Structure 1
């Protein structure tokens, strides 16, 4: 499985490089107007002229910190609520309608309430990213727990497993593929709302960099580099998470 994930990551990287090469050639040949949509090389050059490497890394670090913080909180809460809703019928009857009511609401719609509840600091940004991660994970966890083969549970009970040991040692590992899917989706969506989250009075981060360049009439190249950096961060981290999940699921299924 690890070799498969490595191969998939390599194919993804190769596809990304090919797309960038096509983009570069299209801009250089005049198919794309470089003034509106500069090629990667022009965008990188413009960014290097306006920003030093330390500043760019600072923006990357702040964005990654926000994504990681909001995602970990959202994924942990989503896994807990989803597993509880799927395992305990009464709790599921109460929680599921509320989750389905709130799930279709875009995280961006929560920005005014986030500012009212948490102010203009980091917690409001974490909250927007939290929502992006929470709903895919809670839905996947609920689906995984609710669709466990009853024969597997009956077999475990014949060995004396009941209650919490049955949940943790049998049900959660059996639901881990669904849970892993939710985690991957939630991680990608966390990056998807990053720019919106950094609209909330941020002075650092890639979202801030992109919006600030637009508002001040700055370089289109810097905007393009900011967008590419968000995509590259997601690509690399998603491949790492996928590899870790494959080892995690393989260990549980093997045991």
Structure 2
């Protein structure tokens, strides 16, 4: 019973803290309306017209299929980069020699713009899922690698020594002490990488004509339909928010419960 009440309390605090986010969205809507009144429908459609277009799209089954297709591609690429980049970053963080070898490679990957990877992936895979997945994986891998490596490098080695003094082996020390410290740096990188994954996925779909939300955006651009184009952008952001707050944040809350115990009573950050 206590477990359930604890989770419900945390969910309530999280939802109550969302008022600041609602205020920010209201400010964005006000600026959006001001831009519409200044430049007109051809440049920026009104928020009401855009959300009407969103409602019309959500009433179509094809919209859900396209959104699911883009989300699946983004998550496949993100998952691939999270596994490889996170594991490689942790290994490099524990090995200074490996870190020195990996830094130039990460710099090279970061220096190549995503559009170049899209062109190469189109040559290799054509207008298929592989183009989008590979582009997303390569585009997000450096961020996740750097987050994992930084987490290992910044860990408190005194805690490792204390765990070793109590008889904990290398694997147990990593799982109970080191990994928790790595996750402090890795979770922000995961959130940043997830956002990049959706952006890169839509861009790759648009340029490679691979369907999904990117293909729908290309059609809206061809029809000069600003309201529909903005509606697809809103749906992309909604899919990103759903994945982030439905997957990343709950896992982070479970793995970082120690933060609550470390805070003084009544003090919230």
Query: The TM-score by the shorter chain falls in which range?
Result: 0.7 to 0.9
**Aligned partner of 2:74 among 67, 72, 75:** 67
Structure 1 position 54, deviation (Å): 1.2
Distance 1:86 1:237 in 2: 28
Q: Are 1:232 and 2:232 counterparts?
A: no
Comparing 127-136 with 36-45, greater Cα deviation is found at 36-45
Distance 2:240 2:162 in 1: 41
Aligned counterpart, 2:266: none
Distance 2:57 2:12 in 1: 41
Aligned CA-pair RMSD = 2.7
The 8 Å contact of residues 144 and 179 in structure 1, kept in 2 or not, is answered as yes
- C-alpha change, 1:105 and 1:250, in structure 2 (3 Å) is farther
Aligned counterpart, 1:23: 32
The C-alpha deviation readout for 1:70-121, integer Å capped at 9, x for no partner, is: 1111111111010010013333232232123322322222112212333331
- C-alpha change, 1:164 and 1:89, in structure 2 (3 Å) is farther
- C-alpha change, 1:7 and 1:106, in structure 2 (3 Å) is farther
Aligned counterpart, 2:110: 103
The 8 Å contact of residues 118 and 208 in structure 2, kept in 1 or not, is answered as no
How do residues 116-195 of structure 1 correspond to structure 2 at under 5 angstroms?
A: 116-195=123-202
TM-score by length of 1: 0.85
TM-score by length of 2: 0.81
- Number of aligned residues: 251
The 8 Å contact of residues 44 and 225 in structure 1, kept in 2 or not, is answered as yes
- C-alpha change, 1:253 and 1:163, in structure 2 (3 Å) is farther
Aligned counterpart, 1:81: 88
- C-alpha change, 1:47 and 1:10, in structure 2 (3 Å) is closer
Structure 1 position 200, deviation (Å): 4.9
3-state DSSP of counterpart to 1:31? helix
Q: Are 1:205 and 2:212 counterparts?
A: yes
Distance 1:199 1:26 in 2: 26
Aligned counterpart, 2:100: 93
- C-alpha change, 1:111 and 1:69, in structure 2 (3 Å) is same
Higher relative contact order (CA 8 A, sep 6+): 1
Distance 1:31 1:138 in 2: 44
Structure 1 position 48, deviation (Å): 6.7
Distance 1:19 1:106 in 2: 29
3-state DSSP of counterpart to 1:38? coil
3-state DSSP of counterpart to 1:148? coil
